[in-house]
């Protein structure tokens, strides 16, 4: 199974160190197919995951993927692979990279006032991907190639926080041409609006949320030069475009839909993370006292998180009991995995005797909630049960083959089991997915020297050859 995972990883070309662009093979190749788009996006994601702005929160990212795949089901390419991820950036922005990778800034998550508004942004980005707009822009330029696609991807990453920085990211005439292509053409934006609205409607969201959100951004900034949100700069909005969206949605009924609890909890988690622990405690305590700032279950969730951060475990336990009683009174809030994860964290902090049994049951109830998996695996290792942890982690890796935290926990488990070959292999996968090729090579060398069966050593040698080729290509660049 591990061999297959590394081969998947190594099917993507290495990154060029000198200019930050992926190595895309024959630059004379003008045609861009979905696999090539995916290669560019995959390399960009390795750079994002290694950066400081990547929001490594499994609950926030899992929520975005659950919402995203609910929308993708109704797109014109429902079988296309997507990955949604959050950035610890409080500018209002979202963007689509080649190959189905869609980033959402924390600032946009907090600016959207309803789940339908967030879904409207995701559906628009999904349409850009399924219509292959970036590839079509590259193909329209004579002499451009996959290298041009990579240049666009790099510029998008630079523009996600500061659109002006994108031009500085690239040099020369081609760079300036790529910068001009960052903003989608009016026809592409209209196409993404039309298809995004169709996705939104079929997924049973409120389609009126799309023009409402864009209009809100426009009115909030009055589009003063230098003051417009990055989302409006990288997705140019005109009055005609908003009017066109409004004309389309006016033909559809207005759906007053309740937001999911997870939408509220994700936003609350971000608000809590913006503040110091003490300020967050004051904020949520006041919100609960005055009954302001939204959903009381989400508010108390934020309070418990903040109390844990401030090491006020006893009060966190008391507030958790109240939170669980509130959730029991609301059918939509019962058995929520984010609430269950928080309950486990409070139990661990309080050293409750039933903590291990709690996690065992919780993981059975929510087998795909990675935050629970991480905590349970760590608790199993603390309880000297590495074999159980390995079984749990191996199953999860088949679902999330690029999740480096799972490999790190697996390496710890194998270390406790005194299996050095497997330990170093797992650590190598973690490093490789992070783009640390030399670290991965070093770990595989250690695995080889640990000894193993003919099959195991042959697999390691094969992986080493591939990694060395990638590392050599980097140096040549």
Q: pLDDT by residue (tens digit) across 176-212?
A: 444 444 445 677 888 899 999 999 999 999 999 999 9
- Please give the torsion angle defined by the CA atoms of residues 322, 325, 329 and 334, in that order, rounded to the nearest 10 degrees: 110
* Average pLDDT for 138-149: 61
Lowest mean pLDDT among 9-18, 43-52, 374-383: 9-18
Q: Is 354 helix (H, G, I), strand (E, B) or coil?
A: coil
**Residue 340 sits in the same domain as residue 201:** no
Model pLDDT for residues 235-275, shown as the tens digit of each residue:
666 677 788 889 999 888 888 888 999 999 999 999 999 99
| Contacts with 406 (C-beta within 8 Å, 6 or more apart), sequence order | 370, 373, 374, 393, 396, 397, 400
**Residue 84 sits in the same domain as residue 206:** yes
**CATH assignment of the domain containing 427:** 1.25.40.10
**Residue 322 sits in the same domain as residue 181:** no
> Where a domain ends, among 249, 276, 303?
249
> CA 352 → CA 271, 306, 307, distances in Å?
28, 20, 17
Query: Number of folded domains in the chain?
Result: 2
- What is the span of the domain harbouring residue 455? 261-476
**What's the gap between Cα 341 and its chain centre?**
19
> Where a domain ends, among 214, 229, 249?
249
Examine residue 5 and state whether it is found in any structural domain, yes or no. no
Gap between the Cα atoms of 174 and 171, Å rounded: 7
**Residue 291 sits in the same domain as residue 435:** yes
Average pLDDT, the chain: 83
Token pair of 135 as six digits: 């590839």
Tokens 């006032």 map to which residue? 113
404-409 contacts at long range (C-beta below 8 A, 24 or more positions apart): 404/49, 404/429, 404/430, 404/433, 404/434, 405/56, 405/58, 405/374, 406/370, 406/373, 406/374, 407/433, 409/374, 409/377, 409/378, 409/381
Predicted local confidence at residue 29, as pLDDT: 36
> Where a domain ends, among 249, 272, 294?
249
Examine residue 56 and state whether it is found in any structural domain, yes or no. yes
> CA 304 → CA 284, 322, 384, 416, distances in Å?
9, 10, 29, 33
**Residue 65 sits in the same domain as residue 142:** yes
Examine residue 254 and state whether it is found in any structural domain, yes or no. no
Examine residue 2 and state whether it is found in any structural domain, yes or no. no
**Residue 82 sits in the same domain as residue 193:** yes
> CA 268 → CA 142, 176, 273, 330, distances in Å?
48, 40, 9, 18
Where would I find the H helices in 131-208?
133-139, 146-159, 165-169, 172-182, 186-202
**Residue 226 sits in the same domain as residue 101:** yes
> CA 356 → CA 235, 340, 390, 409, distances in Å?
48, 13, 16, 17
Cβ–Cβ < 8 Å for 255, 291: no
Cα within 13 Å of Cα(440), Cβ side: 27
Q: Is 28 helix (H, G, I), strand (E, B) or coil?
A: coil
Model pLDDT for residues 289-347, shown as the tens digit of each residue:
998 768 999 999 999 999 999 999 999 999 999 999 999 987 766 689 999 999 999 99
**Residue 278 sits in the same domain as residue 242:** no
Tokens 């903040």 map to which residue? 306
**Residue 193 sits in the same domain as residue 265:** no
pLDDT exceeds cutoff 70 at 175: no
**Residue 352 sits in the same domain as residue 466:** yes
| Contacts with 204 (C-beta within 8 Å, 6 or more apart), sequence order | 255, 257
Banded pLDDT at 33 (limits 50, 70, 90):
confident
Banded pLDDT at 34 (limits 50, 70, 90):
confident
Exposed / middle / buried, residue 3 (Cβ in 10 Å: 0-12, 13-18, 19+): middle
**What's the gap between Cα 79 and its chain centre?**
19
**Residue 295 sits in the same domain as residue 443:** yes
**Residue 352 sits in the same domain as residue 468:** yes
Comparing 169 with 323, the larger pLDDT belongs to 323
Predicted local confidence at residue 142, as pLDDT: 53
Most confident of 74-78, 91-95, 309-313: 309-313
Examine residue 357 and state whether it is found in any structural domain, yes or no. yes
Gap between the Cα atoms of 182 and 159, Å rounded: 9
Exposed / middle / buried, residue 325 (Cβ in 10 Å: 0-12, 13-18, 19+): exposed
Q: Please count the other Cβ atoms lying within 10 Å of the Cβ belonging to residue 331.
A: 8
């Amino acid at each position: 199974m591990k061999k297959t995972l590394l081969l998947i990883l190594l099917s993507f070309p290495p990154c060029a160190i000198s200019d930050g662009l992926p190595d895309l093979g024959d630059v004379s190749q003008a045609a861009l197919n979905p696999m090539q788009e995916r290669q560019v996006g995959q390399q960009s994601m390795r750079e994002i995951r290694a950066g400081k702005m990547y929001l490594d929160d499994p609950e926030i990212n899992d929520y975005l993927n659950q919402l995203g795949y609910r929308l993708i089901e109704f797109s014109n390419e429902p079988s296309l692979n997507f990955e949604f991820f959050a950035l610890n950036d409080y500018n209002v922005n979202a963007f689509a990279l080649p190959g189905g990778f869609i980033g959402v800034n924390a600032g946009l998550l907090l600016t959207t006032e309803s789940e339908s508004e967030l879904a409207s942004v995701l559906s628009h980005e999904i349409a850009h991907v399924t219509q292959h707009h970036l590839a079509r822009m590259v193909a329209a330029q004579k002499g451009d190639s996959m290298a041009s696609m990579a240049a666009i991807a790099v510029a998008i990453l630079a523009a996600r926080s500061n659109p002006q920085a994108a031009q500085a990211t690239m040099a020369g005439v081609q760079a300036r041409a790529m910068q001009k292509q960052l903003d989608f053409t009016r026809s592409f934006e209209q196409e993404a609006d039309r298809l995004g609205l169709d996705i939104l409607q079929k997924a049973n969201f409120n389609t009126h949320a799309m023009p409402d959100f864009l209009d809100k951004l426009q009115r909030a900034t009055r589009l003063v030069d230098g003051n417009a949100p990055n989302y409006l700069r990288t997705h140019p909005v005109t009055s005609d475009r908003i009017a066109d969206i409004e004309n389309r949605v006016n033909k559809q009924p207005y759906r007053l839909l309740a937001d999911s609890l997870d939408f509220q909890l994700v936003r609350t988690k971000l608000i809590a993370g913006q503040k110091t622990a003490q300020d967050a405690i004051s904020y949520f305590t006041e919100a609960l006292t005055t009954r302001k700032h939204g959903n009381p279950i989400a508010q108390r969730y934020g309070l418990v998180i903040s109390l844990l951060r401030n090491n006020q475990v006893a009060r966190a336990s008391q507030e958790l009991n109240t939170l669980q009683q509130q959730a029991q009174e609301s059918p939509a809030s019962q058995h929520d995995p984010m609430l269950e994860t928080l309950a486990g964290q409070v139990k661990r902090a309080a050293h409750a005797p039933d903590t291990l049994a709690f996690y065992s049951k919780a993981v059975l109830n929510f087998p795909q909630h990675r935050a629970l998996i991480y905590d349970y695996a760590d608790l199993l290792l603390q309880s000297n049960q590495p074999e159980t942890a390995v079984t749990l982690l191996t199953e999860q890796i088949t679902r999330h083959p690029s999740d480096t935290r799972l490999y790190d926990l697996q390496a710890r488990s194998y270390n406790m089991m005194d299996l050095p070959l497997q330990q170093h292999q797992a650590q190598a996968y973690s490093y490789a997915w992070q783009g640390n090729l030399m670290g991965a090579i070093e770990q595989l060398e250690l695995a080889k020297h640990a000894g193993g069966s003919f099959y195991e050593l042959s697999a390691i040698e094969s992986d080493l050859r591939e990694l060395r080729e990638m590392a050599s290509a980097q140096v040549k660049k």
